[in-house]
Chain A
Amino acid sequence: MSTKRFEQPCPESSALSKLIESASASGNPFSATTLQILHNLQHQHLWTSLQIHDISAPSDATDTTPKFPIATSPDDTAPTLISGIPPHRVYTHPDEQLYMLEQGLREDDLKPERFFVIPTAQGQQWSLRRMAAVFDAMSEVQPVETPMVEKDNGKAKQLAKYYERREKAHETKEWGGKRVLLAMVDKGMGGEGTVVYYVVQEGEVKPRQN
């Protein structure tokens, strides 16, 4: 009776691990958290044209005060932002939604827009100063835009009217100011890699009627 012994091969590392390994091997400075969230956005939420922006560099040379004075602990992520284009609209302000209804527009009629994401990990220290710094840095980030094909669905007139109205709302901030997604990845003990997303907006923006 011959005993068959199977050599148990080491399980192959996941696609995510490979991505993070390859990135760190190539000397890419982006942290594992950023890459993990980017991976999640790309494959679970099907975002496209994803980019990583480094916002740690002070925008003004004379500005010597560090923007992230608390980013000293080793497990802190380098201050980065991810941006990408979601397949569906992530956020619509309630007043904007009302206006769209009045114009007979649906969310799918609008062209997809770039949205910013702050990558964070559970257990990471956070503060109002860091939050404000991200919002301040956002206006300086210039994402590389690829021209998109506009679909014609016979609503060009309403769309033009909508964009004009939105331009006005943007100035008065009546449809909300700057907004960003706060992504949090579960990395602690037994963390299974879930990523949760929260919409963060500057100022007092009335809630949606979900």
Chain B
Amino acid sequence: MDSLPTLPIPISFISGRYLLFSIDAVTYLRREHNICGVLIGTLPQIPQQNVFLGLPLELMPEEARVLVDRGVACIVDEAKAHDGMKSLLEEDRRQYLRELESQGLHATRILSDRKGQQRDQALKKLDEKAKAKAKAKAKATKAADDNASASSSAQQDEPASVVDLFADDGSNPASSSKPLTSSTPDAQLAMGITPATSYPPLPHPSSSSQLLSKPEVPLSYPLFAHLHSRGYFLSPGLRFGCQYVAYPGDPLRFHSHFLVVSAEWDQNIDLMDIVNGGRLGTGVKKGFLLGGPEKSREEVNSEAERVESVRAFSIEWAGM
């Protein structure tokens, strides 16, 4: 669980998107840096299945920028990085394939071990159930015997034979399953491994020629960075008709607190938008957070200065 990825984490820049392909990086960023992103990977055969998505994880430019500014990530031009694939040596290639195979064997072993364990457990349960049943039956017949003193010996024999039969039944498959679990799967049975990342075989710390500059961010970035620095988890706000949804902790544990909309300091805001946001937010038990940096991009040299100057206002319906 505590698998720490090597820093800085490479964020793949592919056709205008910031993507993460390593599950270790994804869990680490979520755990340590309050960055959730959005899982966008679906199954190639069933692209309509979009309820449970997997890797890769897409990051908003704001999220990528925050991570780069913190020094935990860098942006890698993925197309350039994969040029190295061509110059891969034959020996490296073979070693990579061998490694994949050994990983596959390992996975197969783990799987068959688990299967064996489950099987043993299921059989044990069945065995206990049968024994309990037989015991109950024996008791019942005994009670019946006590009540009706006239009883035949054949009746008494019957439950005993049932117990035997089940006990025999239970012990047999258990003993036969033993060789199955201990058998080592051969290379043919190795599971196919589909690695999510391409390092190895590519070298992990990408060379500086493949690194890109900091991500371009929208005007709302200062408010994003401001809220992120205060420990909020931010996700895209489309589903609530705002720019970001702010959660006070991990979205799996908390309801969100704010619908966030950013504006420039002198940007005209229609009062109706405040009514809309305030009413919508209150309707879903959230606040409407309107904010922005006091300084415009022309006034400052860096976005960091703009982040410093952010002021935000929480708006709720007064109910009167």
B194 in contact (CB, < 8 A): no
Instruction: Give the interface segment out of A49-57, A128-136, A160-168.
Output: A128-136
List chain B residues, Cβ under 8 A from A197: 317-318, 320
CB interface residues, A 166-210, toward B, < 8 Å: 176, 181-182, 184, 196-210
Q: How far is the CA of A128 from the CA of B267 in the complex (A)?
A: 7
| Count of chain A residues with a beta carbon within 8 Å of a chain B beta carbon | 37
A132-B275 Cα distance, complex, nearest whole Å: 18
B window 214-248: CB within 8 A of A: 227, 230, 232, 246, 248
Q: Which of A91, A121, A126, A135 contacts B269 (CB 8 A)?
A: A126
Query: With A128-B267, A132-B311, A210-B282 in contact, do A199 and B289 touch (Cβ < 8 Å)?
Result: no
Q: A131-B313, A196-B275, A203-B314 are in contact. Are A210 and B268 (CB under 8 A)?
A: no
Chain A's closest residue to B227 (CB) is A204
Residue from A127, A128, A208 in contact with B316 in the complex, judged by beta carbons closer than 8 Å: A208
- By beta carbon, the residue of chain B nearest A69 is B266
Q: Is the Cβ of A126 less than 8 Å from the Cβ of B318?
A: no
B131 within 8 A of A: no
B314 touches A209 (CB 8 A): no
Q: Is A22 an interface residue (CB 8 A)?
A: no
Contact of B271 among A69, A123, A202 (CB under 8 A): A123
**Is B290 positioned at the interface, with any CB of A under 8 Å from its CB?**
yes
Report how far A210 CA is from B282 CA in the complex, Å. 8
Interface check A48, CB cutoff 8 A: no
Q: Which residue of A lies closest to B232 (CB)?
A: A204
Tell me whether B257 and A210 are in contact (CB under 8 A).
no
Give the complex CA separation of A124 and B316 in angstroms. 20
- From B263, B312, B314, B317, residue with most partner A Cβ within 10 Å: B314
Q: How far is the CA of A45 from the CA of B319 in the complex (A)?
A: 11
Q: Per a CB cutoff under 8 Å, which of B263, B285, B318 touches A199?
A: B318
Chain B 295-320, CB-CB to A under 8 Å as 1, else 0, gives: 00000000000000001111111111
Q: Check A34 for interface membership: any CB of B closer than 8 A.
A: no
**Any A CB within 8 A of the CB of B4:** no
A103 at the interface (CB under 8 A from B): no
B291 touches A (CB below 8 Å): yes
A120 interfacial contact with B, CB 8 Å:
yes
- Taking residues whose C-beta sits less than 8 angstroms from the other chain, chain B's interface range is 35 or more
A139 to chain B, nearest CB (A): 15
| Chain B residues within 8 Å of A90, by CB | 318, 320
CB-CB under 8 A from B272, the residues of chain A are 122
Contact with B along A134-167 (1 / 0, CB 8 A): 0100000000000000000000000000000000
Query: In the assembled complex, which residues on chain A have CB atoms less than 8 Å from the CB atom of B246?
Result: 204
**Are B278 and A198 in contact, with the CB atoms below 8 A?**
yes
**Closest chain B residue to A41 by CB distance?**
B320
Cα distance A70–B263 when bound, in Å?
16
Q: Is B265 an interface residue (CB 8 A)?
A: yes
Q: Is B287 interfacial (CB-CB < 8 Å)?
A: yes
B10 at the A interface (CB under 8 A): no
A135, A197, A199: residue with the most chain B Cβ atoms closer than 10 Å: A199
Closest to B262 in A: A128
Min CB–CB distance B204 → chain A (angstroms): 38
Q: How far is the CA of A204 from the CA of B270 in the complex (A)?
A: 21
- With A122-B272, A126-B268, A128-B290 already in contact, the answer to whether A198 and B263 are too (CB < 8 A) is no
Assess the B269–A200 pair: CB atoms within 8 A: no
For residue B226, which residue of chain A has the nearest CB? A204
* A201: min CB distance to chain B, Å: 5
The distance in angstroms between the C-alpha atoms of A125 and B273, with both chains bound, is 11
- B287 CB contacts on chain A under 8 angstroms: 205-207
| Whole-angstrom distance between the Cβ of B79 and the nearest chain A Cβ | 40
The 8 closest A-B pairs by CB, nearest first: A197-B318, A207-B287, A205-B314, A198-B278, A201-B314, A126-B269, A199-B316, A199-B318
Given A125-B268, A198-B316, A206-B248, list of 18 further CB < 8 A pairs? A45-B320, A90-B320, A126-B268, A126-B274, A128-B263, A128-B313, A129-B265, A131-B290, A182-B274, A182-B315, A196-B275, A198-B274, A198-B278, A199-B315, A199-B318, A204-B232, A205-B287, A207-B287
**25 A-B interface contacts by CB (under 8 A):** A90-B320, A120-B271, A122-B272, A125-B269, A125-B270, A126-B269, A128-B263, A128-B264, A128-B266, A128-B269, A128-B290, A128-B291, A129-B266, A184-B271, A197-B320, A198-B274, A201-B315, A201-B316, A202-B314, A204-B227, A204-B257, A204-B258, A206-B257, A207-B287, A208-B316
